[in-house]
Amino acid sequence: MAKKKGKKKAKKNFVLLKGNKDTEHIFTGAQPRAAALKAASRGFKDIRLRERGTDRIHVFKGDRKKVDAPSNRPDWMPAKIWKPVVKKTGFEHIKKR
């Protein structure tokens, strides 16, 4: 029996907030967690992502840890790599003025 092919989720754009202001950092992913992992891999700790086109703000705590690279790593990859870790702490809505 053949496997059914699922629909691909549309990519969404998330803007990183600092305070309540947008920054120039934009992360893309099908889910907010994917964008948060990208932000955490770049060293952001308090991650507040505004989903473009909606009134939602996704709040995460992020970190990155130095771990051993996989054994089948390519030659150019170092022996130790950064692994992002995120935990969703909440969800907010933008207040209308």
Q: What CATH class is the domain 12-93?
A: alpha beta
Q: Residue 41 above 90 pLDDT? A: yes
Place of tokens 């939602």: 56
Alpha-helix residue ranges (DSSP H) falling in 3-73: 32-41
pTM for this model (two decimals): 0.82
pLDDT at 7: 73
Q: Show me where the domains of the chain are located.
A: 12-93
Q: Among residues 64, 62, 32, 61, which one has the least CA distance to residue 49?
A: 32
Q: Which is more confident, 5 or 86? A: 86
